[in-house]
Chains A and B, each alone.
Chain A
Amino acid sequence: MGFEEVRFEQDSEKAIHNKPLQKALVNVTNRFRTARNKASEDVPNWDNLRAAAREIKKETIENLDKYLLMLEERVKRAGGKVHWAKDAEEASQIIVNIAREGNVKSVVKSKSMATEEIELNNSFEDAGIKVIETDLGEYIIQLAGEHPSHIIAPAIHKTKEDISKLFSAKLGIPRYDKPEELTKVAREILRSEFLNADMGVSGANFAVAETGTIVVVENEGNARLTTTVPKIHVALVGIEKLIPRYEDLSLFLTVLARSATGQKSSTYVSFITGPKRSTDIGGPEEFHLVLLDNGRSKILASEETRESLYCIRCGACLNNCPVYRKVGGHSYGWVYSGPIGAIITPQLMGIDKAPELPFASSLCGACKDVCPVKIDFPKILLELRKNVVESKKGSTGIGERFGIRLWRFTVEHESIYKITNKLSYYFQLPWKGRNGKLNSLPYPFSRWTDQRDFPAVAKKTFRERWKNNKGETG
């Protein structure tokens, strides 16, 4: 599924009317939110950990060139190969070439947002190479031909029944209803794929510059299989995933699992440095690290939004976002959703492709409160809104611009402001309803009154009351 234009207003409306989706969203966000809250309360100095994690990310991003070179050198020393991809197309090309050179017929993949970002599966398919998603949630949406709807639980928008029907239709098996049965089917099918695959593609949660180690965090075991069994392992890693030192991992692993699912630790963490050693039994013979830019270096150049790159993809912002919990992941139009999607999609794809997204937030700040690296989402959203207005695209049509000019003129001139206040009592009369409120207003304010009343302007303004008896209610 390719990247399409973001159509937030349209897609969010569909999502709001989708009852099963609404139920699933409430479920998943409540569950993860409660679990995260408990897991963070169990750690006495949680806020200090977040501050420390932010500092390390800041240090990394502000010295990214040095750390990337260090990482490259260490990976090579360990026997791995390093490739640099400036954009999605190049990254896909590099990976397909590695497959061609290795005579690869089939590829197994573990969960990686970056590989969805570059639409890697399409490139494999175009090259006639079989590719299978092995993370259960990703396997489900691969069968369904959809994008993930949540960073941690990609198929959460699907019910048991959906999945049962899907498996039956696509895999030619009877209808199974229990999650255990469906999981067993997936395990068996995918197990033989793992054993026969020539190449495994993974992402990485972290890349340690000091040691040349990539770190993959998971619960299912498919990433371990992907990175152990096939003879070639390719890891696609966004350049922002770096951290400087081996011991920094203890901090990041502590905050990642707790923020994502509320677990003290995910089931498996693999720390991979290069291919197998000559004395190892089993393990990949080739290790390729593909470093992905695809717009990240541009974000880095913007001082106000640079911290967007600190993200460790835990999904806590999604689980705490009151907007996400109503509209779900697909409304954000791309692989990244929720608050993190709202800030990086416009920056990676270009503000002209997603001008709605910076405005698709009430700026409540719940995300900022839970982000393990303390990304200041509201600040970045405000900066992006400014950029949208300056680029004259999207929701800022001539009408809005005129409205702002009018507003500004009114509030810069007290006399106009007072008159407007006074006159609006009379102007509002046609729209005043029986309950004394404004039940309908002309466009664009009809967008308010379609479902809400608007308070009527009082006959006596506060200024008049102030003059009469110093503002006290009379």
Chain B
Amino acid sequence: MVKVLKSLGVEVDFIEEQTCCGQPAFNSGYQDDARAVAERFLSIFDKALNDESGKDAYIVCPSGSCTSMVKVFYEELFKNSPELLNKVRNVSQKTFEFSEFLIKVLNTVDVGAGYKGVVTYHDSCHLLRELGVKDGPRELIKSVKGVKFKEMELHDACCGFGGTFSIKFPKVSVSMLEEKIECIINSGADTLVSADMGCLMNIVGALSRREIPVKVMHLAELLASRG
């Protein structure tokens, strides 16, 4: 992601103190713990934005679920803390998922990437339904030289990750995952691309266990390819 952004002339910084947005706890019902962690996230990034206040500063994230935590669920999490809502708004307005940043902020679809392969794309749930991102990643993929794009069946069906869901109900999770794997294989693609680490871990976990030779990569990896 850093490579792609830099190649487009963006000055990239990584704040070392950052750790987590708090979503794992939030999704598991531990809202107080989530709030504490989220507050830390807010302070770090609010400060970072303020430090760059003269410039066009943004927070870019290679994950639909973390981004939606910040942009959608922080408002809910901090609804009883009016003193923090300013920070919440400041940070969430400037936070973008990677593909959205490329398309909406940088107005770029072709990043000059090259990759030979038949690619299919999995819509991760938060990215699609909470952030409404659907066409952008597809346009980015199709602009990569050498890529043949194949839409798979049930491309917007959940892969079964769901955070702790994958461990709480592993049989159900794997059953959903198997449906996804079948769709990937049936699409004829040799490469699966998605924009969320959770989905990717889950999908590649099954593909490698079953020794299915489909390559799996994050959208950013595809866009950084020069092959």
- Check A-B contact in the complex, CB < 8 A: yes
- Nearest CB of chain A from residue B205's CB, rounded to whole Å: 3
User: A430 interface residue, CB < 8 Å from B?
Assistant: no
Contact residues of B between 167 and 206, Cβ < 8 Å to A: 167-177, 179, 201-202, 204-206
- Nearest CB of chain B from residue A376's CB, rounded to whole Å: 10
Stretch of B30-38, B48-56, B114-122 contacting A (4+ beta carbons < 8 Å): B30-38
> With A365-B125, A473-B3 in contact, do A404 and B205 touch (Cβ < 8 Å)?
no
CB distance A385 to B27 under 8 Å? yes
User: B130 interface residue, CB < 8 Å from A?
Assistant: yes
- Nearest CB of chain B from residue A362's CB, rounded to whole Å: 3
User: A12 interface residue, CB < 8 Å from B?
Assistant: yes
- Nearest CB of chain A from residue B167's CB, rounded to whole Å: 5
CB distance B125 to A363 under 8 Å? yes
CB distance B204 to A447 under 8 Å? no
Distance, CA A14 to CA B139, complexed state (A): 42
CB distance B169 to A365 under 8 Å? no
User: A448 interface residue, CB < 8 Å from B?
Assistant: yes
Distance, CA A255 to CA B168, complexed state (A): 35
Distance, CA A393 to CA B28, complexed state (A): 13
User: A66 interface residue, CB < 8 Å from B?
Assistant: no
Which of the residues B16, B160, B208 comes within 8 Å of A437, measured between beta carbons?
Answer: B208
- Nearest CB of chain A from residue B69's CB, rounded to whole Å: 11
Distance, CA A145 to CA B160, complexed state (A): 33
- On chain B, the residues within 8 Å of A444 by CB distance are 167
User: B74 interface residue, CB < 8 Å from A?
Assistant: no
Chain A residue with the shortest CB-CB distance to B170: A447
Distance, CA A435 to CA B171, complexed state (A): 23
CB distance B209 to A451 under 8 Å? yes
User: B162 interface residue, CB < 8 Å from A?
Assistant: yes
CB distance A454 to B205 under 8 Å? yes
User: A38 interface residue, CB < 8 Å from B?
Assistant: no
Stretch of A108-116, A291-299, A405-413 contacting B (4+ beta carbons < 8 Å): A405-413
Distance, CA A408 to CA B156, complexed state (A): 32
Contact residues of A between 373 and 400, Cβ < 8 Å to B: 379, 382, 385-390, 395-396, 400
Bin the interface of chain B by size: 35 or more
Distance, CA A405 to CA B167, complexed state (A): 18
- On chain A, the residues within 8 Å of B130 by CB distance are 365
Distance, CA A435 to CA B158, complexed state (A): 27
User: A417 interface residue, CB < 8 Å from B?
Assistant: yes
User: A470 interface residue, CB < 8 Å from B?
Assistant: yes
- On chain A, the residues within 8 Å of B26 by CB distance are 382
CB distance A435 to B208 under 8 Å? yes
- On chain A, the residues within 8 Å of B174 by CB distance are 451-452
CB distance A365 to B129 under 8 Å? yes
Which of the residues A12, A386, A451, A455 comes within 8 Å of B206, measured between beta carbons?
Answer: A451
User: B136 interface residue, CB < 8 Å from A?
Assistant: no
CB distance A363 to B162 under 8 Å? yes
> With A326-B176, A455-B201 in contact, do A389 and B27 touch (Cβ < 8 Å)?
no
Distance, CA A405 to CA B122, complexed state (A): 33
User: B84 interface residue, CB < 8 Å from A?
Assistant: no
Distance, CA A408 to CA B28, complexed state (A): 13
User: B19 interface residue, CB < 8 Å from A?
Assistant: yes
CB distance B165 to A363 under 8 Å? yes
Chain B residue with the shortest CB-CB distance to A465: B2
- Nearest CB of chain B from residue A32's CB, rounded to whole Å: 15
Chain A residue with the shortest CB-CB distance to B177: A452
Distance, CA A382 to CA B165, complexed state (A): 13
- Nearest CB of chain B from residue A50's CB, rounded to whole Å: 15
- On chain B, the residues within 8 Å of A382 by CB distance are 26-27, 29, 76
- Nearest CB of chain A from residue B220's CB, rounded to whole Å: 11
Chain A residue with the shortest CB-CB distance to B205: A452
> With A360-B169, A362-B160, A395-B168 in contact, do A368 and B25 touch (Cβ < 8 Å)?
no
Which of the residues B6, B37, B172 comes within 8 Å of A12, measured between beta carbons?
Answer: B172
Interface string of A343-366 (1 = CB under 8 A from B): 000000000000000111111111
Which of the residues B17, B126, B164, B170 comes within 8 Å of A451, measured between beta carbons?
Answer: B170
Distance, CA A323 to CA B126, complexed state (A): 16
> With A408-B37, A414-B16, A451-B170 in contact, do A364 and B158 touch (Cβ < 8 Å)?
yes
CB distance B169 to A322 under 8 Å? no
CB distance A12 to B36 under 8 Å? no
CB distance B33 to A408 under 8 Å? yes
User: A179 interface residue, CB < 8 Å from B?
Assistant: no
- On chain A, the residues within 8 Å of B209 by CB distance are 439, 451-453
User: A16 interface residue, CB < 8 Å from B?
Assistant: yes
- Nearest CB of chain A from residue B227's CB, rounded to whole Å: 14
CB distance B29 to A447 under 8 Å? no
Distance, CA A417 to CA B183, complexed state (A): 37
Which of the residues A366, A396, A412, A472 comes within 8 Å of B3, measured between beta carbons?
Answer: A472
Distance, CA A412 to CA B40, complexed state (A): 7
Distance, CA A369 to CA B36, complexed state (A): 31
User: B20 interface residue, CB < 8 Å from A?
Assistant: yes
Distance, CA A364 to CA B209, complexed state (A): 24
> Could you list some 9 contacts between A and B, CB below 8 A?
A12-B172, A13-B171, A326-B176, A387-B29, A414-B18, A435-B208, A437-B208, A447-B167, A453-B209
Known: A362-B160, A362-B162, A472-B6. 19 other contacts (CB 8 A): A12-B171, A322-B176, A326-B175, A359-B29, A360-B169, A362-B125, A362-B165, A362-B173, A364-B125, A389-B29, A390-B29, A396-B29, A407-B25, A439-B209, A448-B170, A452-B174, A452-B202, A453-B208, A470-B14
What 6 pairs between A and B have smallest CB-CB spacing?
A362-B162, A452-B205, A385-B29, A364-B158, A389-B29, A365-B129
Task: Identify the A interface with B (CB < 8 A).
Answer: 8-9, 12-13, 16, 322-323, 326-327, 358-366, 368-369, 379, 382, 385-390, 395-396, 400, 404-405, 407-408, 410-412, 414, 417, 435, 437, 439, 444-445, 447-448, 450-455, 462-463, 466, 470-473
